């Protein structure tokens, strides 16, 4: 097959998107706008299935950072009223007011297949080992739907399946063990609904929160509210950070006010003695005895047991599921499991702000041409991601697939600054880093400051 025949063969095939969350639906909007045929495969029973699982939580990024520009234009043409740009939506509001209306647009709704779980992606009739004519072959996507195996051919694949639901384990080694599994429902991974259905599980309990990011702080603030209503509620905060101050972030310097408020509020609670902090602590073992857990680990080079724990909430980040991509030739970083070209700019071992400069199709390419990982999954295990970064990714990728190479190269991204940023564990020099560049034009190639799209507290008076 020559290249002309290949193009004619491939042009009639759709682009397949995996995942009907915010980034996957944005990809669908861009493809629909450019009149490129596509299919969107969603493993869940509803649009924004993962978002629905944290629907009770409020984002710290306002609507202006949570709505894709092309999606907004398509929605507005059908009478949609955009939310106030400075308001902070909950996950439920994000889904109900934006994702669901977007999924119902003509040209998008008919292309979505729910309850369709992708189990493998490969090149058609060709395994990972074969190189001959590999770039000339379409992708083949294997999926399960209602117990039936389905196959789809595609000219390109956009994996926007995210990392939600693939939590990191408790152990500092990153290994899952039978000990952790045996604790069962005593350990919760994610952000529980502490104002609603999960409240009784933690009231009057001694709860350990594991993690030093914004999700952990969000959880701690909710637990502090429970403690205010029932002082018998105890809170232990376990981190690997060298000191607790490292978790507070930019506070009043943060350009996302709600995110900065997180750090300020937890700072106050720690200073007031409402939260017991154990850091740095590297968990080695969890034992269950007489309905209580003992968490053992290394604290300042000495062994320490944290005893009498009733509940554990794990907010230690997540990792990508790449198991169903094993027959593709990928370009992934061995440490972060992110797209390789992004790793040097988001590796938390190097950058405290953990966010990549504006980027697009060129940086997101893999060895198998036409396959892209976008959204949170493109960051692998790296902890920070802003939804608008994912929108910029899919804008560029779809432009490239449409043959609009100039648009694919163009940077169209505006990001807020965190108010804190360091490189190689040294505070960045304000005169020599893009961390002080105006957030309105974050186009410098060494830009590192932005944020994650992780929720903050619902109904917080300061939100």
In a domain, 443, yes or no: no
In a domain, 172, yes or no: no
232 and 137 housed in the same domain: no
What pLDDT is stored for residue 149 in this prediction?
A: 98
185 and 326 housed in the same domain: no
Q: Distance between CA 308 and CA 207 in Å, rounded?
A: 9
309 and 326 housed in the same domain: no
Task: Please say if the pLDDT value at position 184 is more than 70.
Answer: yes
244 and 323 housed in the same domain: no
Taking only the tens place, the pLDDT of each residue in 360-411 is: 999 999 999 999 999 999 999 987 788 999 999 999 999 999 999 999 999 8
Q: Give the domain extent around 28.
A: 3-165+318-436
In a domain, 266, yes or no: yes
- Average pLDDT of 408-418? 75
Task: Please say if the pLDDT value at position 284 is more than 70.
Answer: yes
186 and 287 housed in the same domain: yes
For residues 125 and 107, is the Cβ–Cβ distance under 8 A?
Answer: no
Would you place residue 458 in the very low, low, confident or very high pLDDT band (cuts 50, 70, 90)?
very low
Cβ partners under 8 Å of residue 80, min gap 6: 72, 101
In a domain, 459, yes or no: no
Write down which residue in 317, 341, 370 finishes a domain.
Answer: 317
8 and 132 housed in the same domain: yes
332 and 226 housed in the same domain: no
Q: What secondary structure letter does DSSP report for 436?
A: G
What pLDDT is stored for residue 346 in this prediction?
A: 84
**Low-confidence winner among 12-16, 24-28, 353-357 (lowest mean pLDDT):** 353-357
Task: Please say if the pLDDT value at position 299 is more than 80.
Answer: yes
Would you place residue 349 in the very low, low, confident or very high pLDDT band (cuts 50, 70, 90)?
confident
302 and 348 housed in the same domain: no
Rounded to the nearest integer, the mean pLDDT of the chain is 85
Q: Distance between CA 293 and CA 154 in Å, rounded?
A: 49
78 and 128 housed in the same domain: yes
Which H helix or E strand runs over 9?
Answer: helix 3-11
**What are the b/e assignments for 221-260, b being 16+ CB within 10 Å?**
bbbbebbeeeeebbbbbbbbeeebebbbbbbeebbbebbb
What pLDDT is stored for residue 3 in this prediction?
A: 58
Nearest CA to 118 among 140, 146, 143?
Answer: 143
pTM of the model: 0.85
In a domain, 452, yes or no: no
In a domain, 362, yes or no: yes
Write down which residue in 293, 317, 341 finishes a domain.
Answer: 317
- Average pLDDT of 411-432? 48
Residue 413's alpha-carbon distances to 65, 138, 383, 442, in angstroms, are 10, 31, 20, 7
In a domain, 453, yes or no: no
Write down which residue in 283, 317, 351 finishes a domain.
Answer: 317
What pLDDT is stored for residue 9 in this prediction?
A: 67
Q: Report how many domains make up the chain.
A: 2
For residues 372 and 334, is the Cβ–Cβ distance under 8 A?
Answer: no
Would you place residue 151 in the very low, low, confident or very high pLDDT band (cuts 50, 70, 90)?
very high
Q: Considering the chain, what percentage of its residues have pLDDT values greater than 90?
A: 70
185 and 78 housed in the same domain: no
228 and 285 housed in the same domain: yes
Would you place residue 447 in the very low, low, confident or very high pLDDT band (cuts 50, 70, 90)?
very low
In a domain, 183, yes or no: yes
Q: Distance between CA 332 and CA 143 in Å, rounded?
A: 23
Nearest CA to 338 among 324, 319, 353?
Answer: 319
Would you place residue 415 in the very low, low, confident or very high pLDDT band (cuts 50, 70, 90)?
low
238 and 365 housed in the same domain: no
Residue 83: CATH number of its domain: 3.50.50.60
């Amino acid at each position: 097959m020559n290249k002309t025949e290949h193009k004619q063969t491939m042009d009639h095939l759709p682009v397949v998107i995996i995942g009907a969350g915010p980034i996957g639906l944005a990809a669908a909007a861009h493809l629909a706008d450019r009149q490129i045929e596509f299919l969107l495969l969603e493993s869940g029973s509803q649009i924004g299935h993962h978002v629905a699982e944290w629907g009770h939580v409020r984002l710290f990024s306002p609507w202006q950072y949570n709505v894709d520009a092309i999606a907004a234009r398509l929605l507005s043409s059908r009478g949609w009223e955009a939310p106030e740009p400075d308001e902070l939506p909950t996950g439920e509001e994000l889904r109900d007011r934006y994702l669901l209306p977007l999924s119902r647009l003509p040209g998008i709704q008919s292309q979505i297949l729910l309850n369709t779980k992708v189990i493998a992606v490969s090149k058609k009739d060709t395994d990972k080992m074969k190189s001959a004519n590999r770039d000339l072959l379409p992708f083949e996507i294997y999926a399960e739907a209602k117990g039936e195996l389905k196959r789809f051919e595609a000219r390109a694949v956009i994996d926007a399946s995210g990392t939600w639901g693939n939590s990191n384990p408790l152990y500092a080694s990153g290994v899952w063990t039978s000990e952790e599994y045996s604790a069962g429902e005593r350990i919760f991974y994610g952000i529980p609904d502490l104002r609603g259905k999960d409240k009784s599980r933690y009231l009057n309990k001694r709860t350990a929160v594991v993690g030093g990011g914004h999700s952990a702080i969000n959880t701690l603030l909710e637990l502090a509210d429970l403690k205010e209503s029932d002082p018998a509620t105890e809170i232990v905060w376990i981190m690997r950070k060298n000191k607790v101050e490292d978790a507070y972030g930019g506070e009043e310097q943060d350009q996302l006010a709600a995110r900065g408020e997180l750090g300020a509020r937890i700072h106050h609670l720690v200073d007031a003695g409402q939260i017991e902090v154990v850091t740095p602590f590297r968990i080695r073992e969890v034992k269950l005895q007489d309905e209580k857990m003992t968490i053992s680990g290394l604290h300042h080079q000495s062994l320490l047991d944290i005893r009498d724990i009733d509940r554990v909430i794990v907010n230690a980040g997540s990792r990508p599921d790449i198991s169903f991509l094993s027959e593709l030739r990928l370009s992934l970083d061995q440490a972060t499991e992110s797209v390789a070209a992004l790793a040097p700019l988001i590796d938390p071992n190097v950058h405290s702000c953990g966010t990549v400069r504006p980027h697009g199709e060129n940086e997101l390419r893999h060895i198998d041409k036409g396959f892209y990982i976008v959204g949170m999954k493109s960051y692998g295990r790296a902890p920070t991601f802003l939804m608008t970064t994912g929108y910029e990714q899919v804008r560029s990728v779809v432009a490239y697939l449409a043959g609009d190479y100039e648009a694919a190269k163009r940077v169209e991204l505006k990001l807020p600054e965190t108010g804190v940023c360091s490189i190689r564990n040294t505070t960045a020099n304000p005169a020599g880093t893009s961390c002080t560049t105006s957030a309105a034009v974050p186009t410098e190639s060494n830009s590192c400051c932005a944020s994650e799209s992780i929720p903050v507290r619902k109904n917080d008076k300061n939100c």
